[in-house]
Amino acid sequence: MPCATVNGLHPYYEEQGSGPPLLLLNGAAGTLDDSKGARTALRPYLAQRYRVVQVEGRGCGRTDNPGDPDAYTYARWRRTPWR
């Protein structure tokens, strides 16, 4: 299970394809397994041209749920280096 370590959080991510990176983020509480999401259907096509990287957000899917309300503020999110 691919996870990174970012500011003490362990976000789950998946990569597919090659080429210039294309980062896809989930909306609200979505997960990478959301079969109804448009990204699920588009990912194989995008991966033909890009290195597609999808990341599950805090408390979503297989990413940690810090349990601290401050972990979900905009100010904290801006400090998270998703590189």
Task: Enter the pTM of the model.
Answer: 0.66
DSSP the chain: --B--BTTB--BEEEE--SSEEEEE--TT--TT-TTSHHHHHHHHHTTTSEEEEEPPTTSTTS-----GGGGSHHHHHT----
Q: How confident is the model at residue 18 (pLDDT cuts 50, 70, 90)?
A: very high
Per-residue pLDDT, 28? 64
Q: What is the pLDDT of residues 23-62, one digit of tens each?
A: 887 766 667 776 655 567 788 899 999 999 888 877 777 7
